[in-house]
Amino acid sequence: MNGFLGSYKRKDSKEGFVHEVAAVCVLTGKILLQNGAETYRVEDTMNRIANSFSVHDAQSFVTPTGIIFSIEDHDVTQLVRIKNRGTNLRKVTQVNTLSRRVAHGEVSLKDLHRDLIQIDRSTVMYSNSLQILAAAIASSCFLLMFLGKWQDLLPAFIAGGAGQAGMIYLHRLAKVKFFSEFMSSIFIGMIALVSVKLGFGVEMNKIIIGAVMPLVPGVPITNAVRDIMAGDLVAGLSKSAEAGLTAFAIGIGVTAAIVLG
Amino acid sequence: MHLFVVITIQSITSYLATCAFGIIFNIPFKPLIHGGLIGMIAWLIYFFLFHYSGNDFVATFAASFVIALMSQIFARLCKNPVILYSVSGIIPLVPGGLTYSVMSRAVDNNYDVAIYFAEKVFVLSGAIAMGLILAEVFYQIFEKMKHHASNKMAAGLFLSKKVKHFSK
């Protein structure tokens, strides 16, 4: 955050303070956007923080790939490029609690900056094995919710866990999201096919639908439509394009596994 | 007896599935438990509306409306962002299986079926988004009215005190 560090040189001037506020607001927006908060909430939180440090006339423009934040009367404009996005709602919760305290005037600007950096760097997450287990449980539960057969429970459990494991470990290997989605849906398709051929499973389609549920972009599509309805047209359209590509990767992956297998 | 078994299985599986998704999204423990409850209630509403009316648009809309209302209430009570509760709640409703079907049919050269499914995905996600936004707006109107009413009452009290004061 250049504005924040650079502003120590011009500590006495009023402009320095405004730069610091802008830097903190942009950092807040960056953390929120990288961890899966809604577009309008990112804009709202940034404007609220600026307001609570009595910097008014703040404008923000948020898209999934970048944030532009500007304070009108002071010629301060900051741009942040967002390269990787995930879903870590724990960080969103922490930032929300922090911004609530800021609105009550309990946090100074310097403390806010320090806490935000701490939140940004924290790596507290549920462990990988727990996430894989969760995906496996979710897949088998979805099988039962869509009125599948009891015999298909075990194949769906294994396929769902394998899909999530593929997502986690392949994403480390190559930072291309569509590659890991494609490969893990190939795993899912292969496991479903083999289990049906060996006689463990009965309905291959239900097993696959249950197992791909943790991967398919149901929530991104809903968020995209919601963004468009709320007036964030650019954000909504780009999110739906990303969701479409994800669905494409999954569809091709599963079908390739079935056709080739 | 058969209905009772179905309800039990559906509620347990929807609760577990919602909580499991919360773990994948890294939701902290307490909202995870509440979110599971929201997901379970919404799925039961969806399940029965769908099976008795046969229209999934109405069932999805009603369930997502309930999700948004409950998430607003939980978010207000526990001072957490709304998305924590609504994301895990809408997981069972989102047309994930359909999205997969669209692409697998298209890859299979079954374009007419794929387009039929794609339109359904679009309409269903529109239903969810409309349910969420409508509940949010209703909640805001309700809060405003409550605020307004309490202001009026305060003004009324103030006025009555003044009147008393003058009458003395």
A214/B107 touch (CB, cutoff 8 Å), yes or no:
no
Q: Are residues A204 and A220 in the same domain?
A: yes
Nearest to B81 among A88, A93, A138 (CB): A93
Distance CA B16, CA A3 (A): 46
Q: Are residues A190 and A92 in the same domain?
A: no
The pLDDT-based confidence of B156 (bands split at 50, 70, 90) is low
Q: List the domain range (segments joined by +) for residue A219.
A: 128-260
Give whole-number Cα distances, A230 to A133, A233, A251, B73, in Å. Answer: 36, 8, 30, 21
The pLDDT-based confidence of A13 (bands split at 50, 70, 90) is low
Which residues in B lie closer than 8 A to residue A88 (C-beta atoms)? 25-26
Distance CA A257, CA A237 (A): 31
For chains A and B, count residue pairs whose Cβ atoms are closer than 8 Å.
154
Q: What percent of chain A is modeled with pLDDT above 90? A: 33
Query: Pick from A87, A121, A155: which residue ends a domain?
Result: A121
Q: Are residues A156 and A181 in the same domain?
A: yes
- Predicted confidence at residue B159, as pLDDT, reads 57
Asked whether the predicted pLDDT for residue A7 surpasses 50, the reply is no
Is the CB of residue A82 less than 8 Å from the CB of residue A49? no
- Predicted confidence at residue A8, as pLDDT, reads 45
Going by C-alpha positions, the residue among A138, A224, A239 that lies closest to residue B128 is: A224
Whether A5 maps to a domain, the answer reads: no
Distance CA B33, CA B78 (A): 12
B46-64, pLDDT tens digit by residue? 999 998 888 889 999 999 9
What is the domain count for chain A? 2
Q: Are residues A87 and A196 in the same domain?
A: no
> Chain B window 48-87: which residues touch A at a Cβ cutoff of 8 Å?
79-81, 83-84, 87
Place of tokens 């950092």: A27
Q: Are residues A195 and A236 in the same domain?
A: yes
Query: Pick from A121, A142, A175: which residue ends a domain?
Result: A121
Q: Are residues A77 and A156 in the same domain?
A: no
Q: Are residues A142 and A99 in the same domain?
A: no
Asked whether the predicted pLDDT for residue A5 surpasses 70, the reply is no
Going by C-alpha positions, the residue among A57, A26, A48, A62 that lies closest to residue A107 is: A48
Q: Give me A227's structure tokens.
A: 């963004």
Is the CB of residue B19 less than 8 Å from the CB of residue B36? yes
What is the three-class DSSP state of B43? helix
Q: Are residues A226 and A144 in the same domain?
A: yes
Whole-number CA gyration radius for chain B: 22
Whole-number CA gyration radius for chain A: 22
User: Å from A127 to nearest chain B CA?
Assistant: 9
A216/B10 touch (CB, cutoff 8 Å), yes or no:
no
CA A41 distance to own-chain centroid: 14
Going by C-alpha positions, the residue among A63, A66, A31, A75 that lies closest to residue A49 is: A31
Which stretch of DSSP H or E encloses residue A82? none
Whether A2 maps to a domain, the answer reads: no
Distance CA A205, CA A222 (A): 24
Is the CB of residue B25 less than 8 Å from the CB of residue A36? yes
Whether A212 maps to a domain, the answer reads: yes
Sequence-ordered strand ranges (E) for chain A: 58-63, 66-71, 76-81
Q: Give me A105's structure tokens.
A: 């005037």
∠ CA B132-A59-A98 to the nearest 5 degrees?
65
How far apart are the two ends of chain A, measured CA to CA in Å?
51
**CA dihedral angle for residue B107, residue B108, residue B113, residue B115, rounded to 10 degrees:** 20
A159-187, pLDDT tens digit by residue? 999 999 999 898 888 878 889 999 999 99
Whether A237 maps to a domain, the answer reads: yes
A96/B20 touch (CB, cutoff 8 Å), yes or no:
no
Instruction: Give exposure, B57-77, as e/b (b: 16+ Cβ within 10 Å).
Output: eebbbbbbbbbbbbbbebbee
Q: Are residues A241 and A213 in the same domain?
A: yes
Is the CB of residue B132 less than 8 Å from the CB of residue A223? no
Going by C-alpha positions, the residue among B101, B91, B29 that lies closest to residue B60 is: B91
Check: complex ipTM more than 0.90: no
Q: Are residues A117 and A138 in the same domain?
A: no
Whether A4 maps to a domain, the answer reads: no
pTM for the full model? 0.84
Sheet with A76-81, strands from edge to edge, namely A58-63, A66-71, A76-81
Whether A35 maps to a domain, the answer reads: yes
Q: Are residues A64 and A134 in the same domain?
A: no
**Which residue of A lies nearest to B83 if distances are taken between CA atoms?**
A37
Whether A3 maps to a domain, the answer reads: no
User: Å from A217 to nearest chain B CA?
Assistant: 6
The pLDDT-based confidence of A140 (bands split at 50, 70, 90) is very high
Q: What are phi and psi of A231, to 5 degrees?
A: 100, 0
Whether A149 maps to a domain, the answer reads: yes
**Which residue of B lies nearest to A37 if distances are taken between CA atoms?**
B83
Q: Are residues A93 and A189 in the same domain?
A: no
B13/A255 touch (CB, cutoff 8 Å), yes or no:
no
Which stretch of DSSP H or E encloses residue A236? helix A233-260
Sequence-ordered strand ranges (E) for A72-126: 76-81
The residue among B32, B79, B100, B109 with the most chain A CBs within 10 A of its CB, best to mutate, is B100
DSSP state of A12: S
Query: Pick from A103, A121, A139: which residue ends a domain?
Result: A121
Provide CB contacts within 8 A for A158, sequence distance 6+: A136, A191, A195
B112-122, pLDDT tens digit by residue? 999 999 999 88
